[in-house]
Amino acid sequence: MNRIWRPLRRRASTSPGQLTFALVAVVALSLAFGLVGALTMRDSVTLVRDVSVRSGPLTVQAQDIYRSLSDADATAASAFLANGVEPAALRTRYLDDIAHAATTVAAALRSAEGDSAAALDVLVVQVPVYTGLVEAARTYNRQGLPLGGAYLREASALMRQTILPAAQELYRAESQRLARAQSAVAGVPWAVVLLGLALLGLLVVTQVRLRRMTNRVLNRGLLVATLASVVAVGWMAVAVTGAATRINNGAEEGSLQVGILAEARITALQARADEGLTLIARGDGAQFEEDFTAMMERLIGADGTGGLLERAHQQAPDEAARSTVEEARSHARAWLATHRKVRELDDSSQHLEAVRLATGTGPESAANAAGQLDTALAKGITDGRQHFDQQAETAGNILRGADLAVALLAVLLAAAGSFGLYQRIAEYR
């Protein structure tokens, strides 16, 4: 070993030897920086693509599944109150909800994994059971038999106790995946940062050392290498920071707001189903009425100024979003006021009048207020999704080409540093 190390130590004690070792170090560190930097930029692009193409859409699909199934349950209850052939519009809406849920489940199955796949399996098995129970309830209802109500209550229990919890688990799993992807994009790439700082430090130390050895102020090759390293590090810093900022904005002002509004929409749909089931029970629906009250308190608070809609109002990113939430809150209050009239009629044995007020198409009906509430919430959700998508697209544009740029700058850095140092080494020959 001494035969190997002794000549190297002698070589390192000479000026040409020191410059040679500096050249090797600059080239090796430059290429390592370029490789790690390019891979880091490419990973960031992949993460942003995952946010915008996979995790984000899967979260949206999970919301759509939950909303469609909740709306189907509420619509089935409203249609049942027709006491015979249900209104065509309600029948169409129910079928559209089930079809949309089935299509979305099939689309989600193609890319879901882990907990999401398990939740989707539950939906695949149980939704057909639910629709079978609803069809049985519909058949008995058309015949005027009271057994239809029991089948509908069983269907609704299956929806609330098994199907919707599975849809909620799907949404939870995909929301967590989206949050992890957003956090990863916003993370600091410490490996490339440390390599970049080490490279800059090496170039500065080498130039100072070279000046002392040769009494020359500047080495053009090393100066170009230093400038290339500064540009590369700066480019990555701007790209990563810009992308992280956009993704964070999309999360705070887009996906978080969408999550609150989606939860509010689902809560309202559950309340709508409770309203119908209370009337179907004909005096034996205290449990459904209690659940309706709990859902409305969750939606707008006990005094009409709190709940999920107040959270959405506080979280709203701009005046337009706040206006949409305020519109939704106004419709929710109107619905609650009409519901109280429905209960007064039903409790005073005016069942048919209560059903008409609950399910009618007039401007004073509970159905109209609930429909306007759903429309306002849907608008807020759409606006939030668009904001999130725009931020994710901008993040992707910021990172585009950064991996190639860093790799090319690293090659330029290595070449310029080698050229500058080789000129000085050649002077000793």
- Residue 85: phi and psi, rounded to 5, are -80, 115
Q: Average pLDDT of 80-107? A: 83
Kindly state whether residue 3 falls inside one of the protein's structural domains.
no
337 pLDDT tier (thresholds 50, 70, 90): very high
Residue 261: closest CA among 182, 322, 176, 180: 322
Kindly state whether residue 269 falls inside one of the protein's structural domains.
yes
Residue 130 has pLDDT above 90, yes or no: yes
Most confident of 181-185, 249-253, 342-346: 342-346
Q: Average pLDDT of 116-138? A: 90
Q: Average pLDDT of 336-354? A: 88
Residue 85 pLDDT: 67
- Cα 26 to Cα 393: distance, rounded to the nearest angstrom: 37
Residue 326 pLDDT: 94
The rounded mean pLDDT for the chain is 82
Q: What percent of the chain has pLDDT over 90?
A: 15
Is the separation of the CB atoms in 8 and 414 below 8 Å?
Answer: no
**Buried residues in 145-173 as b, exposed as e (16+ CB within 10 A):** eeebbebbbbbbebbbebbbebbbbbbeb
Is the separation of the CB atoms in 370 and 272 below 8 Å?
Answer: yes
Tokens standing for residue 77? 């209850």
Q: Average pLDDT of 245-251? A: 79
Dihedral sign computed on CA atoms, order 104, 108, 114, 116: negative
Q: Average pLDDT of 394-401? A: 83
Kindly state whether residue 6 falls inside one of the protein's structural domains.
no
Kindly state whether residue 262 falls inside one of the protein's structural domains.
yes
By CB atoms closer than 10 A (0-12, 13-18, 19+), residue 54 is middle
Residue 331 has pLDDT above 90, yes or no: yes
Residue 146 pLDDT: 75
Kindly state whether residue 2 falls inside one of the protein's structural domains.
no
Residue 318 has pLDDT above 90, yes or no: no
Claim: this prediction has a pTM higher than 0.75: no
CB atoms within 10 A of CB 106: 11
Residue 332 has pLDDT above 90, yes or no: yes
Residue 20 pLDDT: 76
- Cα 317 to Cα 248: distance, rounded to the nearest angstrom: 13
Residue 6 has pLDDT above 70, yes or no: no
328 pLDDT tier (thresholds 50, 70, 90): very high
- Cα 58 to Cα 64: distance, rounded to the nearest angstrom: 10
Residue 104 has pLDDT above 80, yes or no: yes
Residue 364 has pLDDT above 60, yes or no: yes
- Cα 339 to Cα 259: distance, rounded to the nearest angstrom: 27
Instruction: Return the minimum-mean-pLDDT range out of 37-41, 78-82, 420-424.
Output: 420-424
Kindly state whether residue 350 falls inside one of the protein's structural domains.
yes
Is the separation of the CB atoms in 236 and 192 below 8 Å?
Answer: yes
| Residue span of the structural domain in which 334 resides | 11-426
- Cα 60 to Cα 65: distance, rounded to the nearest angstrom: 9
Phi-psi group of 86: left, alpha or beta (phi > 0 → left; psi -120 to 50 → alpha; rest → beta): beta
pLDDT in tens, 291-302: 999 999 999 998
Over the chain, what HEC string results? Answer: CHHHHHHHHHHHCCHHHHHHHHHHHHHHHHHHHHHHHHHHHHHHHHHHHHHHHHHHHHHHHHHHHHHHHHHHHHHHHHHHCCCCCCCHHHHHHHHHHHHHHHHHHHHHHCCCCCHHHHHHHHHHHHHHHHHHHHHHHHHHHHCCCCHHHHHHHHHHHHHHHHHHHHHHHHHHHHHHHHHHHHHHHHCCCHHHHHHHHHHHHHHHHHHHHHHHHHCCCCCHHHHHHHHHHHHHHHHHHHHHHHHHHHHHHHHHHHHHHHHHHHHHHHHHHHHHHHHHHHHHHCCCCHHHHHHHHHHHHHHHCCCCCCHHHHHHHHHCCCHHHHHHHHHHHHHHHHHHHHHHHHHHHHHCCCHHHHHHHHHCCCCCCHHHHHHHHHHHHHHHHHHHHHHHHHHHHHHHHHHCCHHHHHHHHHHHHHHHHHHHHHHHHHCCC
Residue 4 has pLDDT above 70, yes or no: no
Number of domains in the chain: 1
pLDDT in tens, 249-273: 777 777 788 888 888 988 888 888 8
Kindly state whether residue 4 falls inside one of the protein's structural domains.
no
Q: Average pLDDT of 421-428? A: 67
pLDDT in tens, 369-393: 988 998 899 898 888 888 888 887 8
Residue 334 pLDDT: 93
Kindly state whether residue 381 falls inside one of the protein's structural domains.
yes
CB atoms within 10 A of CB 340: 11
